[in-house]
Structure 1
Amino acid sequence: MRLAISPRLSPVLRHLPSSSLLSLTELALLALLAVQCGRLFWALATPIGPLGDWRPAAGPAAERGRAVLASGFDPFFRLAGGAGASVVTSLQLKLFGVRVDEATGRGAAIIAGPDNVQTSYSVGDAIQPGVILKSVGYDSVTIAHDGRDETLYLDQSGAAPVVAPAVPAPASIALLSAPAAETSAPGAVTLSQLRMGLTVTPRQAGGRMTGLVPRGDPSLLARLGLQPGDIIVQVSGRPVGSPDDLQRAAAGLANGGNLSIGVERGAQIVPLAISISGQ
């Protein structure tokens, strides 16, 4: 059976657009775009999510609710407003530290017994026979003692520890102690003996020179009053800044005189007077 088309409809059918998969896809995308634009406009006009208004409730009921939540915790008056006063344990225990684990509800604490030995305990561990660590708070722990809950707070009986100042490096000359009297060298030396028999090596600290290490004939070093391990840190009352400071100061005493130096000896600055008899 064949479907016969009326000759009158043939011109109309020829002017209709032919449909294809591409045109149907375009129409579907246009429809989806129109729906998304409508949803965006609705979200901007009425900002209410699927669960209702996101804004917090206001009014007397909300104020009372916040007041109830705030009254449940007060770090300054932790016993006020609670279910009842806690019982502080009379056991010879000291709490030195806590670690609260809110994820698991366990936590741990560092507790010392009568022997003052600090031991770490987790919730559920036995501290002593009949004494179980029950819970851990931010500044206290609750222990179960013979079926009764008791509280043990952080030990705050001692004074706060004082941080000791850092010990300066030996290069810090100003902080080292020095005796008041100046020690004279055992014997006088000539300027040529000092130049030929004494050499110095710079000591570096922090990228700068902090002293001179004397080297040379042991008998000459002894005549100058120097001992093994001495470091020359002062020449003529000034901190050394160059390896030539010692020889430069000695050259000014070509006609004789006393050369003042300061040597670092242990934790002290020992002043020495080197007697130069001449050339």
Structure 2
Amino acid sequence: MRVPFGDKVRGWKGGVPSIDWLKLGERLLLALLALQIVRLIWVVLTPVGSFGPWEGRQAQILSPSARQALFASFDPFFRTGAPQQQGGGVVTSLALTVYGIRLNEGSGLGSAIMATPDGVQNSFAVGDEILPGVVLKAVAFDHVTIDRGGAEEQVFLDQSTPAPDAAAPAPASGEGWQSAAPPPPATPPGMDSPTADSLKRDIGFAPRMQNGRITGLAVMSRGPAFASAGFKPGDVITQVDGQPVANLQAIQNKIAPGARMSLTVERGAAVASVNIIVQGQ
């Protein structure tokens, strides 16, 4: 067919077909939409797993030998890695005697009543110097550990006296003095009653501190009146005539000729009573 000179054929530009980009974009979008619909249908209809049904993770149970090796590698009661103080160390050659131990289970600290080589008893807290170059490092239920010039040595509780057959319940706080000394009977009235001067001369008192306050007075032997009054090494006076001990004057003011005192003392894990009748002048 002949086309007049100067006319153009619709859809042709210079002899090359023209492209409708708008329609082409619409067709591409429709194709992508159809592809997504097919994928959605495939996901809905196919199983969850590509290679079979889905299964949860199964528990892995170790063999008896593997479990034994696992639990043997740690101690469930001391998970912090701090080993418990053992009693198989080196026993000191110093002339030290332990009469009472007070152990604080919560803090791991405590104190001990010890007699130095000169026979004088004192109450030492963990960290106190017992002798020059000798420091109380730790306490346990039946022994103490001392640091002697950088070497650790142990002093065990004096158990030369037999233990009591029965003991009263421990204090409510769960803290007490561990001692092997049995409770002595009360001093009979009128028999070997000490005088006021002998009590003040032969018995020493050291305050026991807890949280910054006095909770008792540790008694120390300095002469025969200590035993005649009914005390034992390691005793701690907690009450005087039914009243808690608040200071040293609470008992010193009571020591007078003709006075009668009813004392409550902690003795090991037991609580005992000591009744004293002071001889008159």
TM-score by length of 2: 0.37
Query: RCO higher in 1 or 2 (8 Å CA, sep ≥ 6)?
Result: 2
TM-score by length of 1: 0.38
Q: Name whichever structure is richer in helix by fraction.
A: 1
